[in-house]
């Protein structure tokens, strides 16, 4: 009994200290806080949406496996973010790294308004922590699309955990954290073009190269359930309003503007991909158009609160067409088995979005745009900063992803066996099926 009391006392000491501290900052704004909490829920919904989007495109014997890996990200990365991910990304530190211990287990996170990089936000810091947590969750989940139907579940859990803490969190610090070097250099990323999409897209490319092709990759070109793909795309589109408009961190005009740019870019991304498919294949594709709307959303993400509505529509259109072409080229010119076009959509789309932000960012939209885009006032400073940020994020994510996967491979089998792959990961890894009746009948 005495040992139990000691253990409980130790646990209470280690628990995070949340308090209504008198900071001298503005009072909490109820409307802004409500909007951030709603946006957090919307962004959380994107991960199940991504799960359906991906699961609809794999073969039926791998549906449960694909869904499960996405849902696991919610639990695993959620806990890691609370333990030290938030601290690494947003605690005061140096240009490259926050701190693993300043906000360990969310210690010191307040229920009052807070400041970040000289700006004050009248929402609880705890609400901001969980809003950012949802970004941290979906980013490694995006990588899953390049590894479906062949990765060992245990290996994925370890790779995802290490990647979240050593790749995502430091990059988030560079762009959004206190004293991050990309922020200080003048780079702009409104809601995650660099942090989320470039990092996951290029990491997916590396992962696909290391894991190699599926045993029957040539048989996996048709989705098992188009309705599931479209449902997933709809959930992603819906949740993306929280992703982008929520990044204004207030219920204000900027949030409304980001909401509008998000919707319009998705529309033009959809149309760009659809019409290109129609031109090349002679038929419009529902699945392709769904990927196109996601490409439009990816491209507008870094620019949602920085560009005008016409430029947002143009960016979405460019994204739909260019990402389509990029995905085709990757498949035709290489033997790379990026099963669900993660690099073509998120990697290429994220790079496009970051660079186009450097062309179109406009101070008339957002006064935080200290350096406007090259095509707005002829200055190259913002484009140069975003180009540099993009190059370093690519190099870092590629290098670290390679090291993480190789390191994990020393201790855990990365791929399932050929027999397990042929049987399907639903049965061989989890002993479950998406549709039991069909399995019994066979």
CATH number of 27-441: 1.10.3430.10
Q: In angstroms, rounded to a whole number, what is the distance separating the alpha carbons of residues 408 and 406?
A: 6
Q: In angstroms, rounded to a whole number, what is the distance separating the alpha carbons of residues 237 and 91?
A: 31
- Mean pLDDT, residues 408-423 taken together: 96
Model confidence at 189, pLDDT cuts 50, 70, 90, reads very high
Q: In angstroms, rounded to a whole number, what is the distance separating the alpha carbons of residues 98 and 272?
A: 40
pLDDT digits (tens, 9 = 90+) for 85-100: 999 999 999 999 999 9
Q: How many helices (H) and strands (E) does the chain have?
A: 20, 2
Q: In angstroms, rounded to a whole number, what is the distance separating the alpha carbons of residues 321 and 299?
A: 11
Task: Give the H/E segment covering residue 323.
Answer: helix 309-333
Collapsing DSSP to helix, strand or coil, 397 comes out as: helix
pLDDT at 440: 47
- Mean pLDDT, residues 424-434 taken together: 94
The sign one gets for the Cα dihedral 165, 167, 172, 173 is positive
The yes-or-no verdict on residue 274 having pLDDT over 50 is yes
- Mean pLDDT, residues 369-386 taken together: 96
Neighbours of 12 (CB within 10 A): 8
- Mean pLDDT, residues 269-273 taken together: 98
Model confidence at 3, pLDDT cuts 50, 70, 90, reads low
The yes-or-no verdict on residue 183 having pLDDT over 80 is yes
Closest CA to 345 of 239, 212, 202, 227: 202
pLDDT at 185: 96
Residue-range domain boundaries for the chain = 27-441
pLDDT digits (tens, 9 = 90+) for 275-294: 999 999 999 999 999 999 99
Length of the chain, in residues: 442
DSSP string, 55-93: HTTS-GGGHHHHHHHHHHHHHHHHHHIIIIIHHHHHSS-
Mean pLDDT, the chain, rounded, equals 93
pLDDT digits (tens, 9 = 90+) for 98-150: 999 999 999 999 999 999 998 999 999 999 999 999 999 999 999 999 999 99
pLDDT at 7: 47
pLDDT at 137: 98
Q: Where are the alpha helices (DSSP H) in 246-308?
A: 253-281, 286-300
Cβ 194 vs Cβ 396: under 8 Å: no
Q: Where are the alpha helices (DSSP H) in 81-192?
A: 86-90, 125-143, 153-163, 169-176, 181-184
């Amino acid at each position: 009994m005495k040992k139990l009391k000691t253990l409980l006392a130790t646990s209470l000491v280690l628990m995070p200290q949340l308090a209504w501290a008198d900071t001298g900052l503005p009072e909490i704004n109820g409307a802004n806080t409500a909007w951030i909490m709603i946006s957090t829920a919307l962004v959380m919904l994107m991960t199940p949406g991504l799960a359906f989007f991906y699961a609809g495109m794999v073969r039926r014997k791998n549906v449960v496996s694909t869904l499960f890996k996405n849902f696991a990200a919610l639990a695993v990365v959620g806990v890691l973010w609370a333990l030290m991910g938030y601290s690494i990304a947003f605690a005061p530190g140096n240009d490259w790294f926050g701190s693993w211990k300043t906000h360990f287990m969310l210690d010191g996170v307040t229920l009052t308004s807070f400041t970040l990089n000289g700006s004050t936000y009248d929402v609880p810091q705890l609400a901001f922590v969980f809003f950012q947590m949802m970004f941290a969750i979906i980013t490694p989940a995006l990588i899953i699309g390049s590894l479906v139907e062949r990765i060992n579940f245990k290996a994925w859990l370890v790779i995802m955990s290490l990647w979240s803490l050593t790749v995502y969190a430091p990059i988030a610090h560079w762009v959004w954290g206190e004293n991050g070097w990309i922020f200080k250099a003048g780079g702009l990323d409104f809601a995650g073009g660099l942090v989320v999409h470039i990092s996951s897209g290029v990491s997916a490319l590396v992962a696909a190269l290391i894991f190699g092709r599926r045993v029957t990759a040539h048989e996996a070109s048709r989705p098992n359930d188009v309705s599931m793909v479209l449902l997933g795309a709809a959930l992603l589109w819906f949740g993306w309003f929280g992703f982008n408009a929520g990044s204004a961190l207030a219920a204000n005009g900027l949030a409304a503007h980001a909401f509008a740019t998000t919707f319009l870019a998705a529309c033009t991304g959809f149309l760009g991909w659809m019409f290109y498919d129609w031109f090349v294949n002679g038929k419009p594709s529902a699945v392709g158009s769904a990927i196109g709307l996601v490409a439009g959303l990816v491209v507008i993400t870094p620019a949602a609160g920085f560009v005008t509505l016409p430029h947002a529509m143009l960016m979405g259109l460019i994204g739909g067409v260019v990402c389509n072409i990029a995905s085709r080229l990757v498949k035709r010119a290489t033997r790379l088995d990026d099963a669900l076009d993660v690099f073509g959509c998120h990697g290429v789309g994220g790079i496009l979005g970051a660079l186009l932000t450097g062309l179109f960012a406009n101070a008339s939209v957002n006064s935080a745009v200290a350096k406007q885009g090259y095509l707005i006032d002829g200055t190259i400073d913002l484009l140069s900063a975003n180009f540099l940020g993009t190059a370093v994020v690519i190099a870092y994510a590629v290098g670290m992803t390679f090291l993480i996967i190789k390191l994990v491979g020393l201790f855990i089998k990365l791929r399932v066996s050929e027999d397990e792959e042929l049987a399907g990961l639903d049965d061989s890894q989890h002993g479950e099926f998406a549709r039991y009746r069909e399995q019994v009948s066979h």
